[in-house]
Structure formats: C-alpha cells, structure tokens
Structure 1
Amino acid sequence: MPNTLPLSLPAQVSPPEFALSALAPHAVSGVEVVALPVVPATDDGAPLLGPGADALAEALDLDLLGLLESQQATGRTGEVTTCPVPLGSADNAALRLVLLVGVGDQSAQDLRRAGAALARAVRDRSSVATSVAAVCDAEGLTAFVVGLTLGSFGFHMRSDGPEHRPVEQVVLAGLPDDADLAVALHRGITLGGAGWRARMLATVPSNIKNPQWLAEQAEEIAQEAGLDVTVWDEKRLAAEGFGGIVGVGQASATPPRLIRLDYVPRGGRKAPRVVLVGKGITFDTGGLSIKPAEGMTTMKRDMTGGAVVLSVLAALAALDCPVRVTGLVAAAENAVGGDAMRPGDVLRHYGGRTTEVTNTDAEGRLVMADALAYAVAELDPAVVVDVATLTGAMKVALGQSVGGFFANRDGLADVLREAGDQAGEPLWRFPLVGDYEQYLESKVADADNGPKHAGAISAALFLQHFVGQVPWAHLDVASVGDAPSDRHEWTAGPTGFGARVLLGWLTGPDPLDGVVR
C-alpha cells in the first residue's frame, strides 16, 4: 500500500430540502428569503412580476416594478434583482431578502437555469420561499427543482468546513395540493440528487477514491436502493479472463475491480434488460505513455462514467423504472510502476478477443471492452449503453457544453438525443465510419488500442467489436467531464454528465419502444 497517512472524506454539504405550500411566499412563516418570478415583457413593455408580488409589495411597502425599472431588469433567464429587507415584515420578522428572478420564456431549460441562479443567490441562507414554481407546468417544476439542486452543489476538503453551504430549505409556495405537482417535485429531487451523487463521486480525490473505495460505494448504494451487488476482485478477474481490466490496473497499489449492480422492477423479473457500462478509471496517469502534468490535473474524474452508472442505478427504484437494468463499472487505476503494461503488450479480453497496446493512455477502452463483452455473453441484454470520459478528441470536436455519442441503431440514437435535450445534457451523434476500421489494424493482435487518426470514432469502432449485433450506444463525455466555471446548473469541476440523460430515457413509459430501428 502507498506509504501515506490515511485520509478520510469529511462530512459533505447536502442538497436543499423541498416542500410544497399553498401559502403566498411572504406568508410562509420564518423564511429568510422570498423569491418571485419575473417574466419578460412583450411588445417592448415592462417585465411582469409573477404570483405573490402584489401582496409582498403591500406588506413591505415596496415598489417592486420600480425596482426592476431602476435596475434595468428584463426578466431574461437567470437574471436576479436583489432587494434587502433588513427589518423583516409584520407577517415574517425573519425575512431579510427579496429576490426577483428572471424566468425567460418559462421553457424547461429556462426554469432549470432560473433554479440554478436562485440557488447561487441564496447560498448560506437558511430558507427561501418562492412562487417561481407557480408559473410552471409539471415538467417545468421538475426542471426548476433540478436546477436549484445542482446549482447548489458543493464539495470540500477544508479543515474548517465548506466555504459555502446550500440553502437548507426551499418552499415552493402558491401551489395547490395537487398529486401531479407532488410527482413532479419527487422526480426533480431524484434527478437532481442523481446528478449530485455523480458529481460528488467524480470529485473525490484519488488518494481516497480507488477501485475498492468505488466498490464500497456501490455496496452502500445497493443497500440503500434495494439492489443486488457483485464485486470481482483482482484474483477473480484474472481467473475469469478479464485481461483488459487486469492489464490496466496491474501497476497500481490498489488493485482493479469489476462492479455489478442489478435493479429489477416490481414484478418484472422477466422484463427486458438494459445494461449500462461505466468507465471507472479512478486516476489516469497515462501509464508508461505518461500524460504531461497539466493533463493529469483533472484525472480524478476519469471515472465519471462509472459515477454516472452508480448514480443511475441508485435512482431507478425511486422513479419506478419499468425495465431491468444492470450496471457494470470497470474500475482500475492506470498507474506507473514496474508492473505496468508496456507499449507492445498484448491483452486478451473477456471472450478471447486480443488487443495490442500501443498507447497505455488509451486505457479506458481496454477496461470497457471486458465489461461490454461480459454483458453481451452473460446477460442477454436488449440494449447496451456505455458512458465514458474516453477521448480528448471529443473535447476538441465539441468544446465543453455538449457530449458526443455513437449508436448502431437510429432508433436508440433518437431516444437518447431527445432524452439529452429534455434533461439539459445535450448530445451530438457521431458516425461509426466503417472505412476507419483500417486504423485499428494490428500485425499481432485482433486490434490496436492506439490509432493515431479519427480519435473519437476509432475508439467507438474499437468498442463496437465487443457488442456484436446488440443495440448499443457509446456516450463519450470527455468533452463535458469538467465544467470550466459555474454556468447555469453546472458548477466548476467534475460534472457527472450523463445521469439525467439515462434516467430520463430509462424511466419513461416505454424506454425500449423503437430503439432497435
């Protein structure tokens, strides 16, 4: 084991708690902040204030429309106008701040972004009551809650606690007692929580996070969510022929693991199975093909795909997913050492296919190949979807706001693209160009892992050999693995991109409808 002092993860901040209330926002007892929606004007008029504005203006003797005019507020999405209330009001002595929050066209995207803007404006506050949700339909309410949750995200390793804390309680005020709204709120909390968990797992530093630690997180999730869990250690991996996972992880002081989680819907043991495969490289030095120092600074998040798979499995039961889902996380640390795999080594994957390793920094596809081969051979999947921060080429192609993906069925591509758009995690489809198979050719093995051309496409073609004719999609989220700064619901650092896409797809009424087209 490494000769370092053990480090533990300190207590982390939690997402806000949400409640529904039929009261007007200013009438909610004890809240510190009231937030009202601002709708952009039409025909060059003044912006409009949403529900609760007249009563609040009267209670505080404030000209809220005049305040908007003086601040040149427009109601555009995420715009926040602040009005301090140092003495509270007769109805609520605790009130200290009024926020007027732009909601744009009130689309799901606008409301998600408005929620994130409100989250940042109420950090370190105890409570906020808002009527923004009163201008939403059920889909908009879900999006607003997701944005408010994810805009609140924080992580720290500070000895004196976090620099900022999320608002503790959010009261969605001015809403009727309605079952559909309660369902929408529950869905928003669950989707936001899945994104939060994926970010947290990806942000944990790698002197805490190793393959065994990731397996322990999976075991906790299994207990929490009622899942079955199986973990392969390094001996079982070697005995059963997982040569890619073993080869990548063999130089690390912390051996590799394969993690399996199984979700079964109520009464659905015969339901079709979807397999999700996540890349779980808990740190990537590049191996002997070592990365430059700058290239390693974000590599604690090279297990984002695995974090997404774990977070999705944790949320399926809460969202009543109608199909069976198995999650596989191929976990290893790509380290440098005397036992490291070398350029020129040949690995034998699960099922027998061989790979010549010409670039030890193209390790993700090596571990993913084993998991994909196992899924197809042993699990009889209806669909396989993998997610990985796989290629720097994807970041070059797409920047840092859109994820890339490949699919061998147009129907599956369509449903994933639509799920990404609805979730606020947009995806752009890339082609599986058959002519580029030539770049995978090896003189000594079935394939070369390090083609020097068409980086993202070549990687997808490499993986495609392990899924046969099963409907399959490959999400390469290296482009969006890190957010460079706080923007909308994204917070600077690891993003956990993909959890909302997959949950949006899997928890729809018929997720497998049309995917084989």
Structure 2
Amino acid sequence: MTMRIQMDAGGVGEIKADTVVIPITRRGETPKTLPQGLSALDRRMGGRLSDAIESGDFKAGAGDRLPIYGPKGGDIVRVVFLGLGDGEGIDDARLREFGGRVGREANREGRGRVALVVPPGAGLAPEKAVPLIAEGALLGAYTFDRYKSGARKNKRAPVKRLRIVTVRKVKGLAGLRAETKRAVQIAECQLEARDLSNEPPNSIYPESLAREARKMARQVGLKCSVMNVTEMEKRGMGAILAVGQGSERPPRMVVLEHGATAARKRKGTLALIGKGITFDSGGLSLKSAGGMLEMKHDMSGAAAVFGAMKAIALLDLPIHVVGLLAAAENMPSHMAYRPSDIIESASGQTIEIVNTDAEGRLVMADALDHAVKTFKPDAMIDIATLTGAAMMAFGPHATAGLGNDDGVLTELQAAGDAVGETVWPMPLLDAHTKAMRSKVADWKNSGGPSGGVSTAGAFLQGFVGDTPWVHLDIAGSGMSNIGTPLHIGGGTGVGVRMLTEWVRARSE
C-alpha cells in the first residue's frame, strides 16, 4: 500500500505522532540553535531537542541523522534530526533526496504515526519544499517484498500516512495542498511503473500486462484497446510477431488514449511508445545466465508509458495523448525467429535478422509505424531499454536521448531537469544509418559493436517518417542496484515523471 501524504500548516506544538522528523540546516561547521517555532515541541520533549543542538555534536551534514527519544510515558516516542547541509543554495535535487530519507525514516521502525515538521529557513520555503519532499518521501519509502513470506517478510508494516506540517501558516494553503497532491499522484504512478518492472516474468507477460493496462484505463478513464496476434497479422506487424513467435506467451500491442476530443486535439496529439519485452532470453542468440538475470526489467519502457499515461489522465491534462505498449517475450524454441531470417514490418520495409537479441527495436518499429499512421502525432517519444551501449556509457545516472528534432529533444531535457532525470543528447549521423543497411534487405537489426546507441536510434528513425521524434534509451537508467535516497534497487520507474512533465508543458 502506498504511503499517503497529508499537509498542514501551524500547530506544531500540539502535533500528535510517534515519530517526528525535523530537517536541520547549518551555516558554518554546526547548527547553533534549534530552528524557530519548535520551542513548544522542545518542552514536550523535556528540552532534549535544544540540548542536542547546543551540544554541537550534530553537524547537520547532508545525510546526518540523530534520533532523540522522548520522556518515558510521553506521547512522542522520538524526534529525528535529519541533516540538510548548508542552508544556502538548497536545490530541488537536495529537497527530493531529503524527502527520500524521510520516507526511509518513516519505514525504519514501522510506527503508525509519522510527522515531518518544516521549520522556516533558507531553502525551506513551503511552496517549493513541501511538494518536492512529499514526492521524494514516496519514492524513498518504496519497497518490493510482496513475494517474501513468514520470518523473511518485513515485520514492520510500512507507514500508511506521513503528515507534513509547516511551522508557520502558509499563504495559499489550498494551492500548496493541490500542488502537493499533484506531486504525490505522479510519484505514485512512478511506483506503479516500478512494480510492473519488478514483477517476475511468470507474473508479468504480454497478456497480463495488457490486463493491467485495461484495469488501469478503467480506473482513470483512458480508452484502451489491445491487439492480439490475429489483429497484428491483419496489420502486417511482422516485426513484433517474429520476436514473440518463440514463446508460448503471445505478443500484444496495447493502445491507451487520453483526451480524444476535438477541443483537445486542437492542442495537438502526442504519442508515447514503450518497449515491453517482458522477458528477454536473447532468443536463439542466447544471453549468458548472468546477462539474463535482470531481463524482467526489459519492459521498463512500457512501464514508464503505463505510469505516464495514468498520471496524464489523473491530472486531466488538456491535450490528446496516445500511449503504445509493444509487449512480447523473446524466447528460444523450435518456433523462434532465427539469425538470417528476413521479416517484413508493418511499414512494408524488410529487416534482416543479424542477432535475435536485438529484438527491442523490432517491436518498437511496428509500434512507431502504427502510431504515425493511425494517430498522426505532432510529436512522438519512444522509451526503451534498448542497448548495452547506453548502460555502459551512462550507468544508471542518465538517459540517452536522440532524434530527428532538436526542439523536442531540448523540451525533454528541460522536462528531465525539472524532475531530476538527466537526458544526455547523442548524435544521429548518416553514418549510423548506413551501418544499419543490409545487403539483402532494407535494414538489418544490428549494426555491430560500435556506436550502439546511435545505430539503434538510426534504425528506429526509419519507421517514424517526418514525425518529430525522440528516442530515449533507458537501458542503464531504467534499472539499478545502486541504492540512492530515492531508490532501493531494481526497476526505477524512470521516465514517468519526465514524460508527464513534457506533456504538461506541451499542453499549456
């Protein structure tokens, strides 16, 4: 269950909570005095808060933590100081990461009532800080342990509610609550994307992903249609069908649609395309055991589009948006597609199969072509865990971005910067396109070991026509086992907040 966020202003002295978290900033070496507005809370704690600050032992560096336990029999079990570092120049990233630590703190002891007090001070203006901290708290508190049982399951139930209280009254409290609710809704959609990515492949496969999409669409009012094998055959989608033919789990093409009204279409049509390889064994070009281990995350692009479309619907953004999930399972069998096969895509272009482990670009080719022909979007973004080259270049720290429209790429970079997700531009040259040309077909599905991010992008460009388009390669950023304040490991849900922000900006 996702932790709920409640936002209030004033009344800190009467706050009721088992655990109270307080951010502490510093100027110089250590904080000298307790933040303003906390004297009543300090009295309830028997003066322990001011004693802790005045001792000089708590340095308030970013990441520092000091738990202070209350008097026996008191109604506050503990207060936790969390350091924010220097009070000057606190940016969005620091506030989000601080929120992530608050979320972890809320889950640390599993106590039912947790409150965060936001004192006045540099960098902590509630209008800016509260939505970012709330967003970070949800992302940081996320866990995925639903398959653990008995003694192995976390005995501390996750905190169901976090109350954020500002020391001072806030002008425009209703507006701040609305902005915080918006941030929370989008973060919750990112958590759903994480769940989808983290689910094992015997739970999430093309058919079950389509069912989840239908269920979500009903909840938020999206239109949803799902193409089965027969329907894809009628549309000539030979690329995605080839990828899926080795598996007993047949492929699916899911189409989600928001704002299909004349008024909203006048603002334009945007398309989001997500790669949904629910498990990638590599096919007959079989991966190693280690290389296969994390391949349940190969549908993280589809998960990002799933989460973004839900967020777009919840926010009711005034623009027409379509989301496509190209779902297939890439497995070896006597029915699997082979190296040297030549397949025909929905666009009519033929593709020589050089490597069956370069399957993601094939399912995306048919999805991109369908989006262009059916919806004629004004701009189109695809997001995919596409290449090991992106993973090697950026690790989990950035997403590769390239396309045929510098303006759209700049918009995505701005959207990424706004939400803390870095998009790094990559070149798309004629040489990359030439590397993907086949001697026996229109294209080949692999251009060799060098320039992998750009050659994969050049292949996809062949299926978008003149539509303004950007490709996001999240092979590194979509999954990570490097823990951060906002992510414990596994699927990251990257792209949900960025795509939502991009659509929001385009809708204005």
TM, length-normalised to structure 1: 0.91
CA RMSD of aligned residues (A): 2.0
Distance between the aligned counterparts of 1:106 and 1:138, measured in 2?
A: 14
Distance between the aligned counterparts of 1:86 and 1:286, measured in 2?
A: 60
> Out of 488, 492, 498, which is 2:485 matched to?
488
Pair 1:415 & 2:374 matched: no
User: How far does residue 61 in structure 1 lie from its aligned partner after superposition?
Assistant: 1.9
SS at match of 1:347: strand
Distance between the aligned counterparts of 1:76 and 1:265, measured in 2?
A: 50
Distance 1:504 1:162, change over 3 A: farther
Residues 25 and 31, structure 2, Cα contact 8 Å, conserved in 1: no
| Structure 2 partner of 1:219 | 214
Measured against aligned partners, the alpha-carbon deviations of 1:196-247 in whole angstroms (never above 9, x if no partner) come to: 0110010010011110000001001110110110100011111211111100
**Where do residues 280-319 of structure 1 align in structure 2 (5 Å cutoff)?**
280-319=276-315
| Structure 1 partner of 2:163 | 171
Measured against aligned partners, the alpha-carbon deviations of 1:16-45 in whole angstroms (never above 9, x if no partner) come to: 11112234345223x111111211214x45
Residues 113 and 162, structure 2, Cα contact 8 Å, conserved in 1: yes
| Structure 1 partner of 2:463 | 466
Distance 1:388 1:35, change over 3 A: same
Measured against aligned partners, the alpha-carbon deviations of 1:248-302 in whole angstroms (never above 9, x if no partner) come to: 0011111000000000078524431100000000000000001000011111110
Pair 1:98 & 2:79 matched: yes
Residues 46 and 70, structure 2, Cα contact 8 Å, conserved in 1: no
Residue type at the aligned position of 1:475: L
Pair 1:109 & 2:93 matched: yes
Distance between the aligned counterparts of 2:294 and 2:34, measured in 1?
A: 43
| Structure 2 partner of 1:9 | none
Distance between the aligned counterparts of 2:458 and 2:55, measured in 1?
A: 58
Identity between Structure 1 and Structure 2 (%): 34
SS at match of 2:264: coil
Distance between the aligned counterparts of 1:141 and 1:257, measured in 2?
A: 41
Residue type at the aligned position of 2:148: R
Greater Cα offset, 174-183 or 498-507: 174-183
SS at match of 1:75: coil
SS at match of 1:422: helix
| Structure 2 partner of 1:329 | 325
Distance between the aligned counterparts of 1:363 and 1:298, measured in 2?
A: 16
Distance between the aligned counterparts of 1:463 and 1:133, measured in 2?
A: 50
Residue type at the aligned position of 2:100: A
> Out of 494, 497, 502, which is 1:500 matched to?
497
User: How far does residue 50 in structure 1 lie from its aligned partner after superposition?
Assistant: 3.7
User: How far does residue 139 in structure 1 lie from its aligned partner after superposition?
Assistant: 3.6
Distance between the aligned counterparts of 1:406 and 1:315, measured in 2?
A: 24
**Where do residues 309-458 of structure 1 align in structure 2 (5 Å cutoff)?**
309-452=305-448, 453-458=450-455
| Structure 2 partner of 1:247 | 242
Residue type at the aligned position of 2:205: N
Distance between the aligned counterparts of 1:503 and 1:126, measured in 2?
A: 32
**Where do residues 67-106 of structure 1 align in structure 2 (5 Å cutoff)?**
67-68=52-53, 72-85=57-70, 87-89=72-74, 93=75, 95-104=76-85, 105-106=89-90
Residues 38 and 47, structure 1, Cα contact 8 Å, conserved in 2: no
| Structure 2 partner of 1:479 | 476
Distance 1:173 1:471, change over 3 A: same
> Out of 176, 179, 185, which is 1:181 matched to?
176
SS at match of 1:302: helix
SS at match of 1:480: coil
Distance between the aligned counterparts of 2:409 and 2:270, measured in 1?
A: 15
SS at match of 1:333: strand
Residues 401 and 472, structure 2, Cα contact 8 Å, conserved in 1: yes
Distance between the aligned counterparts of 1:321 and 1:214, measured in 2?
A: 24
User: How far does residue 52 in structure 1 lie from its aligned partner after superposition?
Assistant: 4.0
SS at match of 1:129: strand
User: How far does residue 108 in structure 1 lie from its aligned partner after superposition?
Assistant: 1.4
Distance 1:373 1:69, change over 3 A: farther
**Where do residues 143-162 of structure 1 align in structure 2 (5 Å cutoff)?**
143-156=132-145, 157-160=147-150, 162=153
Distance 1:68 1:364, change over 3 A: farther
Distance between the aligned counterparts of 1:298 and 1:463, measured in 2?
A: 24
User: How far does residue 48 in structure 1 lie from its aligned partner after superposition?
Assistant: 5.7
Alignment gaps of 5+ in structure 2: none
Distance between the aligned counterparts of 2:54 and 2:473, measured in 1?
A: 45
SS at match of 2:476: helix
Greater Cα offset, 399-408 or 289-298: 399-408
Residue type at the aligned position of 1:87: K
Pair 1:276 & 2:272 matched: yes
Residues 265 and 320, structure 1, Cα contact 8 Å, conserved in 2: no
Residues 40 and 48, structure 1, Cα contact 8 Å, conserved in 2: no
SS at match of 1:473: strand
SS at match of 1:55: helix
Q: Count how many residue pairs are aligned between Structure 1 and Structure 2.
A: 492
Residue type at the aligned position of 1:195: Q
| Structure 2 partner of 1:264 | 259
